[in-house]
Structure formats: structure tokens, C-alpha cells
Amino acid sequence: MTDKMTPAQRHYCMSRIHGKGTKPELKVRQWLWRHGYRYRLNVKSVPGKPDIVMRRYRTAIFVNGCFWHGHHGCDKFKIPQTNREFWVNKIKRNQERDQQNYQVLHDNGWQVIVIWECQLTPKRIEETMLRVELMLNEHFLALHQPKVVPYDVQETPAAMAAEEAQPYGQ
């Protein structure tokens, strides 16, 4: 299987890449920056070269184009009728590589957040990014949770003390 494209395929690719307004990844970066989050871009030492790396949150963010990464059930993910097999295979390989990257990150204790291009329209970006913010903060808390005795273990002595206390009241 080769990655060589015919001129028509290449043209199609280019039309997909260019002329789409602000790059989705840039929208995410701008939002995060405006809300006080700091990050690094395309850190090569992190597996899978995520688009945005937030070390403080041990979180890797991928901003995926719906077409190239095959956003399931999305309007923007429509396989062209010509050379259908070529596109199906190409996108399938992208998806497999994505999954491998996510798995490696996950195995190394990273939280992986995937943001789809279609979730960044003016209508949806705020909702999307608030959800991302929640995930960041939840993961941060999980990382920094103090080691405490589980609640049910603590509960038992307290219950015993209460029972023991009863005779004093009689």
C-alpha cells in the first residue's frame, strides 16, 4: 500500500487543508491562552506528538480534522465517491495510528483529550472548551490528591466510638 496520490487526489487534499478560516488547533490554543492556561506545542518527547501538551495537567490534546481522522457519524466526514477504497484505507490507517498513540500516552499516565474540528464552530466552541477545562481540572485534582485513608475504613472506628459512648448516657 502506497501513500502516493494522483493529482486529483492531491487537489482534493489541498482544498481540504486550505481555505477553511482559522486553523482548528489555533482556536483551541487561543481559548486556552485567554483563560490563563499555558501549554507547549508539538512536543516531540511526548508520544504521538500531540498538538498541545499541558505538562502541569499531564494532558495531551489532539485537535483532529473530522475528515482525516474519520470522525464517526460527523457531517464533515464523507468519503469521496471517486477512489473510495483509497480514502477508506488511508483514513483507517490514520485512525489506527491515533489509537496506538492514545494508548501509549494513557499507559504513561497521560490524559488524552481529543477535540474534533466540528466542535470548534463559533456555536460550539465555548461548550467544547468548558468541557475540556473540566477534564483538565479533574485530572489535575486526581494527580494531586493527597493519600488519605479510604472513607469506609475511617467510618468504622467512628461508629464503634458512638456505640461505646452510649452507656455513659444511660
Taking the least distance from each CB to Zn ion, the nearer of 20 and 76 is 76
Does position 71 bind Zn ion by CB under 5 A?
yes
CB 63 within 8 A of CB 117: yes
- The residues near 118 (Cβ < 8 Å, ≥ 6 apart) are 66, 71, 74, 75, 76, 124
- Residue among 60, 61, 66, 112 that touches Zn ion (CB under 5 A): 66
Does position 118 bind Zn ion by CB under 5 A?
yes
Distance of closest approach, residue 76 Cβ to Zn ion, in angstroms: 5
Burial class (CB within 10 angstroms; exposed 0-12, middle 13-18, buried 19+) of 120: buried
**SS3 label, residue 106:** helix
Distance of closest approach, residue 57 Cβ to Zn ion, in angstroms: 24
Distance of closest approach, residue 23 Cβ to Zn ion, in angstroms: 15
Note the residues at the interface with Zn ion (CB under 5 A): 66, 71, 74, 76, 116, 118
